Chain A
Amino acid sequence: MGHAQKRLYSTAAKLAIAPSYIRPFPPKESFKSSPPFDPEVWAALQPPAKSAFFAFAHRIGLGTILTSEKTIQQACVHPSFLQFHQQYYPKEPLPASNGQLALMGNSLMGLFASEYLHASYPHLPLRVLKAAVSAHVGPLTCASVAQEMGAIPLLRWRRQPGTPTRPAVMHTDALSSIPRAITALIYQERSLPAARKFVHSFFLSREADLRTMIKFSNPKKALMDTVAKFKREKPKSRLLKETGRFSNSPIFVVGIYSGPDQLGEGFGSSLRMAEYRAAEDALHRVYLTRTPTHLLQLPSSTFPSERGDVFKDGPEGEYVASPIGEAEVRYASSGRSHIDEDKDDRHEDEWSDEDI
């Protein structure tokens, strides 16, 4: 047995290929010396076993929805594979790819994530909302979910370097197209609420820490402007507890108060650091307020769950829009932040401290 044949058998054994579903084995190309035969290229061209596709559909709970092997296979073929397939098997029909499905699925996932996150966190600043949507349904998360579903052996793709007209195709790009294509398939086979349920189960139940995404370059100033916007008393920082002031490891606990109400609390090894953290804590408590899940109202609940007329009423009935959250304070907006400026009793940049 030649070297090429030995590598062929070992490569075929490692991948999810069942000999009963592939072309005649060993392939005729392996016996020819020119063009030189590459077993890895040959293995990448072979389709995975039918049973692998059905097992995948059942694993993600869509055994009754994705009943056709062709549709599941289509969801797993990235468009970068087509040219590769054409090059080696020019006479065979091209397999269907998931390009359009992935595009539609991406839009759907963006819709579901945006409405869910906006309804859950009504006061979230816009840039943070966009970052949160990326964290929940972005390319890395989609690739991660595809990996956790076990779609890596089913993916058919080809690595492509970036050109001036087209971005590079890496493994994460190809993998991320699979969950998007599946979302679009569910939308096609069933309805929008069904696709939404899929995205909620697999993507929006995952954990993404939003506190790391809200960054303020000057939290004290931002808090001052936020408090003015909510028409409350000016924030005052007060030292609550301290220990070791002149030692090498002091701890200060500072609270920020608006009148009698505490807005935030922070610790630090210096007074300024503690105050900074207290301002950040106060801002987090405002901007990260979350709607309880049982009070969540999503606009897409107005869509019906049967196929047919899209303008019929949805299963959840009448949609009542929740009140729009307070808009974020644009504190570095050079006077265009539209905050009421009462120049009589408020001076810019003045922070009121006590007992520090």
Chain B
Amino acid sequence: MASRAFVAPAKPIFRASLRSSPSNGLDAFIPQLRKMVFEYCETWPTSANMRTYILNHLEDVARQNPHCEIVVKNRPHGEPIVRGFYLNTRDKVIGLKDYEVNGIQKKVELLLDSSGAKIRPLKGSRVVESTTEAARGIWSGMHVDAPFKI
């Protein structure tokens, strides 16, 4: 090549502004639920199942999930609820008025398993979510044995 190509100086990279992207679960897993608040009424019958649950099952749940703070709060003349606070600053509130004790158990498990992310439709634009392009590579018309000839 006779002419020399123009070479622009490389842009400086400021090291203090570099960062890595998260990968929760790849090596260490951080459970996303940080606190659960159980609110119930002392007198009303709608909170009866909730009171039973708090007396019988809540301590076991707390022992099995030491990453989660558990708060029991009085809600006088109100319906029982459980409020879950997550690390992404969102919270989920579940009303437990019409549930039996094992129903309350299921809802507590729901809160424990959730990530706190907003529930969005699974299909449509969110069909594939990945940080890498493709495992087998993107197809290229230049890298086949017999490229298409017009």
Chain A residues within 8 Å of B, Cβ to Cβ: 16, 18, 49, 51-52, 54-55, 58-61, 63, 130-131, 134-136, 138-141, 144-145, 148-150, 200-203, 205-208, 213, 215-218, 220, 240-241, 243, 251, 253, 267, 272, 276, 349, 351, 353
Residues of B within 8 A of A272 (CB): 5
| Cβ contact within 8 Å between B30 and A63 | no
Q: Are A201 and B30 in contact (CB under 8 A)?
A: no
Contact call B67/A55, Cβ cutoff below 8 A: yes
Q: Is B131 an interface residue (CB 8 A)?
A: yes
**Chain B 66-110 interface residues, beta-carbon cutoff 8 Å to A:** 66-69, 71, 87
Is the Cβ of A60 less than 8 Å from the Cβ of B13? no
Nearest chain A CB to B11 CB, angstrom units: 7
Which single member of A150, A203, A205 contacts B34 (CB below 8 Å)? A150
- A219: min CB distance to chain B, Å: 9
B16–A138 CB distance below 8 A: yes
CA distance A220 to B15 in the complex (A): 26
- Chain B residues packing against A (C-beta within 8 Å): 1, 4-5, 7-11, 13, 15-24, 26-28, 30-31, 34-35, 66-69, 71, 87, 131, 142-143, 147
In Å, the complex CA distance between A59 and B30 comes to 6
Smallest distance from the beta carbon of B84 to chain A beta carbons, Å? Answer: 13
Contact A200 B69 (CB under 8 A): no
Whether the Cβ atoms of A131 and B11 lie closer than 8 Å is: no
Q: How far is A334 from B71 in the complex, measured between Cα atoms in Å?
A: 69
Q: Is the CB of A131 within 8 A of B18?
A: yes
Q: Is the CB of A131 within 8 A of B15?
A: yes
Contacts of A54 in B (CB 8 A): 66
Task: Report if A49-B69 is in contact (Cβ < 8 Å); known contacts: A60-B30, A241-B142.
Answer: yes
Question: With A51-B69, A60-B28 known to touch, is A207 a contact of B20 (CB < 8 Å)?
Answer: yes
Q: Which residues of chain A have C-beta atoms less than 8 A from B68's C-beta?
A: 55
Decide: B19 and A55 in contact? CB cutoff 8 A.
no
8 Å CB contact of A59 from B1, B20, B34: B34
B87 CB contacts on chain A under 8 angstroms: 148-150
A217, B28: Cα distance in complex, Å: 39
Contacts of B131 on A, CB cut-off 8 Å?
A: 207
CB of B68, distance to nearest CB on chain A (Å): 6
With A51-B69, A52-B69 as contacts: A206 and B21 at CB distance below 8 Å: yes
Q: Are A267 and B142 in contact (CB under 8 A)?
A: yes
B66 and A58 within 8 A (CB): yes
Is A141's CB under 8 angstroms from B19's CB?
yes
Among residues of B, the one whose C-beta sits closest to the C-beta of A127 is B13
CB–CB B147/A241 < 8 A: yes
In the complex, what distance in Å separates the CA atom of A209 from the CA atom of B13? 13
Cα–Cα, bound, A67→B68 (Å): 16
Asked whether A149 lies within 8 Å of B19 as measured between CB atoms, the reply is no
Interchain residue pairs with CB less than 8 A apart (29): A49-B69, A52-B69, A55-B69, A60-B28, A61-B28, A63-B66, A131-B13, A136-B20, A138-B19, A140-B18, A141-B19, A141-B20, A144-B19, A148-B87, A150-B34, A202-B28, A205-B23, A206-B21, A206-B23, A207-B21, A213-B18, A216-B10, A217-B9, A218-B7, A220-B5, A243-B142, A243-B147, A276-B5, A349-B4
A130's closest neighbor in chain B, by CB? B15
- Given A60-B28, A272-B5, 13 other A-B residues pairs in contact with their CB atoms under 8 A: A18-B71, A58-B66, A61-B28, A131-B15, A140-B19, A141-B18, A200-B27, A201-B27, A205-B23, A205-B27, A207-B20, A213-B18, A217-B7
Residues of chain B contacted by A60 (CB below 8 angstroms) = 28, 30
Inter-subunit contact B69/A148 (CB<8 Å) = no
Contacts of A55 in B (CB 8 A): 34-35, 66-69
Which residues of the partner chain B approach A216 to less than 8 Å between Cβ atoms? 10
